[in-house]
Amino acid sequence: MKPLPDALVGQPVSAVDTPSLVIDLDAMERNLARMVAFAKSRKLRLRPHAKMHKSSTLARLQMQAGAVGVCVQKTAEAEVMAAGGVNDIYISNEVIAPAKLQRVVALAQTLARRGGRLAMAVDSLEGVQRLALATRAATGADGLIDVFVELDVGHGRCGVTAPETAVLLAQEIARHPALRFAGLQAYHGRAQHFRGVAERRAAIAAAVALVQRTITLMDQASLKVELVTGAGSGSFALEAGSGVYGELQAGSFMFMDADYARNEADPSQPQFEHALFLKTQVMSVCDDHAVCDAGHKSHAIDSGLPRVHPLSGTPDLEFFNGGDEHGILRGLTPDTRLPAIGDTLWLIPGHCDPTVNLHDVLIGVRGGLETGVVEQLIGVDARGALS
């Protein structure tokens, strides 16, 4: 991580250079409080996904607020979270390379010594056996690693589709003393972005049905499914109401992005505010467009381009792709006044996770984007932790 420009703390938000990722700390904390209250009211564990914020500072904040730990997708992310003081980490993804599995085992031992815990997902016999092999040289490794069997509940990516296969994997896990069968990973990623509540309801109902069939088969094989973990920011109230999920993995609710905001609101789940913004400055203006200094090296484009925040003064501006280093701003109507050179604007990123992953620091502002003050520089210490 690059050194943080800590001279900025205490400065007004107007002093923040561009392009920069700014967190509205008040909005973020309200989002977190709403999610914690929701999980508490449903008696569910909350294990937010740290792949979103990539920051051990924010992971600790979430745990102080009541989260049981964090999820990550990568071994390297787990290592960064552990280095940042997080003791309960779940790699909700498959790990296959022997060198990475050695790191997983070493990390599990480190966390165990600190009174914490490491968990991992598997979806193949090969995966279980490779993990078990990596634990062989570990001393005192009995029950060292919690292992979740991943079901493909509709995403069409990793995970097993047949409950029978899940049972075989759980049985294989049970054969290895260093591994403990901890339950089912059942996350439906695609469903998070289904626009209509009805579509999301149908998708999660199908996921829940598969989970229930799997639990029944596991019961018949005398395998106890202690925990079903999953759910994202688009659907978590549905998983929460299913009676089978015990843990919510949502991550994006903390920051909210333009893509999630396009979902039809589900009245059964709390609503979240945008808390992540990209500050940008106009550097060039001509007859029909203005150019700002935020291109797709500063924001992700996988879920659409950023939206121009109404705070920018000209809410009828649309952001167009200007390449790696530039954004193009055009008026939505012929009489829209284009911004002037030097004007700053606020963008709402299309997708928070890969946008955060482009930045080394999040600039935490207290008191709003117009008159707020920089309170905290939050290192994105797991940025680029790919392995």
Question: Given the rule CB under 8 A, which residues bind a copy of itself?
Answer: 1-2, 17-20, 51, 73-74, 93-97, 99-100, 123-124, 126-127, 130, 152, 156-161, 189, 281-286, 289, 291, 293, 296-298, 300-302, 321-326, 328, 341-342, 353-354, 357-360, 383-384, 386-387
CB of 29 to a copy of itself, least distance (A): 25
Q: Which is nearer to a copy of itself, 87 or 161 (CB)?
A: 161
Distance CA 248, CA 176 (A): 28
3-state secondary structure of 213: helix
Residue with tokens 């815990």: 117
DSSP code for 217: H
Q: Least distance in Å: CB of 190 to a copy of itself? A: 9
Nearest approach, Cβ of residue 64 and a copy of itself (Å): 26
| CA separation for the pair 355, 378 (Å, rounded) | 15
Min dist CB 138 to a copy of itself, Å, is 21
> Considering beta carbons, is residue 73 or 135 the nearer one to a copy of itself?
73
User: Of 105 and 244, which has the nearer Cβ to a copy of itself?
Assistant: 105
Q: Three-state SS for 249?
A: coil
For 53, 159, 164, 268, 318, the CA distances from 251, given in Å and listed in that order, are 8, 20, 30, 18, 27
Spatial CB neighbours of 228, under 8 Å, sequence gap ≥ 6: 183, 184, 186, 211, 215, 244, 245, 246, 247
Q: Could you tell me the smallest distance in angstroms from the CB atom of residue 37 to a copy of itself?
A: 28
Closer to a copy of itself by CB, 39 or 356: give it.
356
Specify the pairing of strand 327-331 against strand 317-321: antiparallel
CB of 45 to a copy of itself, least distance (A): 23
Q: Which residue, 19 or 246, is less far from a copy of itself as judged by CB? A: 19
Distance CA 251, CA 254 (A): 6
In the complex, least distance from residue 17 CB atom to a copy of itself, rounded to whole angstroms = 5
If you ran DSSP here, which 8-state letter would residue 287 be given?
S
Half-sphere exposure in the Cβ direction for 66 (13 Å, CA): 17
Strand pairing category for 361-366 and 344-348: unpaired
Nearer to a copy of itself, 75 or 135 (CB): 75
Structure tokens at 244: 């089978």
Distance CA 106, CA 377 (A): 31
Smallest distance from the beta carbon of 351 to a copy of itself, in angstroms?
Answer: 8
Q: Which is nearer to a copy of itself, 38 or 255 (CB)?
A: 255
Residue 228 phi, psi dihedral angles, 5° rounding: -110, 125
Question: Running DSSP on this structure, what letter comes out for residue 252?
Answer: G
Beta carbon of residue 302, minimum distance to a copy of itself (angstroms, whole number): 6
CB 317 within 8 A of CB 331: yes
Residue 325 sits at φ, ψ, to 5 deg, of: -120, 0
Copy the structure tokens of residue 26.
């008040």
Report the residue number, 360 or 375, with the smaller CB distance to a copy of itself: 360
Residue 372 makes CB contacts below 8 A (sequence gap 6+) with 12, 13, 24, 365, 366
